[in-house]
Structure 1
Amino acid sequence: MPDTELQERIWAALDAHPVYMVSLIAEDGLRTRPMSGHLDREHHRLLFITHRHTGIIGEALRSPSVSIAISHEDRNFYAAIACTASELPSRDLLRQIWTPMASAWFPNGPDDPDATLLALTPVSAEIWEGPSSGVLVAFKLATAKILGRTPDLGVNATIDMR
């Protein structure tokens, strides 16, 4: 099934800035952390190289909700993406997406026994997207006030990402 225009905007935004804020519910409450991801569009998922011992794998698999937040202030685009989580113990896939940054965390390379892959598969998303020009936003606010209307500052939509 081809992506809708809104789905494509989300995938493009994920591709443009591959560091996301990943949130999940852990035993001690809501936990959010920045994580660098790799888009795997062919399999409709994002992959993260992580440590087995840090607990994110167990937390993500137990969490009733895992989400990714992205924000592109320069384009006035924001999204919150609900995902399912799984661990992928594939050394071949780990080698394929290995980066020099990963080597900083895993000096033994992709064969490090503590290195594993966290896969997040988008299920739904809510986006907020508006004009990126401050002048245009000011114009729309002023026009709405003069006309006694609610300003049209863009799109807010919840979409199915499956």
Structure 2
Amino acid sequence: MANDDTLTQQDVVQKLRDTDLVMLTTALPDGKLLSHPMAIQGVSEEADVWFFVSLSGGQAEALRSGPEVNLAVAEAGSWLSVAGRAAFVEDRSVVEQLWTDSAEAYFPGGAEDPDLGLLRVSGTSAQFWGLPGGRVAGLAQIVKAKVSGEQAPGGTGTTEL
């Protein structure tokens, strides 16, 4: 992220590529929110995020009930929230391209497992908040700001994707 707190699509893509797991939240028809940890399989330059998901579980049912989702990432001094739209994609060539050995733990039938669904979340906007220098340096700066009466450190940015 630039020093002027400008968040760009490339910043969002890079932060997502540097992340293994996100929390994916979807709204159920009754308005309740449902969140699941998800392993990222790939991130495109356009900020599309790819996941493998079980087609038979409650999560797939929730995703089918409404495409509006949120991805949340929290790590050592930074937080990223990406709003987007989820869609199931029928493309076995993409499944094979994104397939990893670790995915087999969830889908023992491999890339051809009939329960394996391919989900694409297309980001529409993102928000980022972070402490300069990471968590430890940022926390030290917060303590210093409190003692000195200065403004606490941290930058925030929002962008359309």
Divergent runs of 4+, >3 A: 133-146
Normalising by structure 2, we get a TM-score of: 0.82
> Which region of structure 1 is more displaced relative to structure 2, 135-144 or 52-61?
135-144
The structure-2 alpha-carbon separation of the partners of 1:85 and 1:136, relative to structure 1 and needing over 3 Å to count, comes to closer
Residue in structure 1 matched with residue 111 of structure 2 by the alignment: 110
Structure 1 CA distance, aligned partners of 2:119 and 2:53?
7
Residue in structure 1 matched with residue 19 of structure 2 by the alignment: 17
The Cα shift of 1:13 comes to: 1.7
Which ranges of structure 1 fall in alignment gaps of 5 or more residues?
A: none
Which ranges of structure 2 fall in alignment gaps of 5 or more residues?
A: 1-5
Q: Which has the higher helix share?
A: 1
Structure 1 CA distance, aligned partners of 2:79 and 2:150?
24
Residue in structure 2 matched with residue 69 of structure 1 by the alignment: 72
The structure-2 alpha-carbon separation of the partners of 1:18 and 1:133, relative to structure 1 and needing over 3 Å to count, comes to closer
Identity of aligned residues (%): 25
Within the alignment, does 1:125 sit opposite 2:126 as a pair?
yes
Structure 2 CA distance, aligned partners of 1:135 and 1:53?
44
CA contact (8 A) 2:80 2:127 kept: yes
Aligned pairs, number? 154
The Cα shift of 1:58 comes to: 3.4
Structure 2 CA distance, aligned partners of 1:10 and 1:92?
26
Aligned CA RMSD, in angstroms, stands at 2.3
Normalising by structure 1, we get a TM-score of: 0.81
Per-residue CA deviation, residues 94-138 of structure 1 (Å, 9 max, x unaligned), is: 111111122122222111222110110111011101122645543
CA contact (8 A) 2:12 2:47 kept: no
Q: How does 1:47-66 map to 2 (within 5 A)?
A: 47-63=50-66, 65-66=68-69
Letter in 2 for 1:24: T
Q: How does 1:29-40 map to 2 (within 5 A)?
A: 29-40=32-43
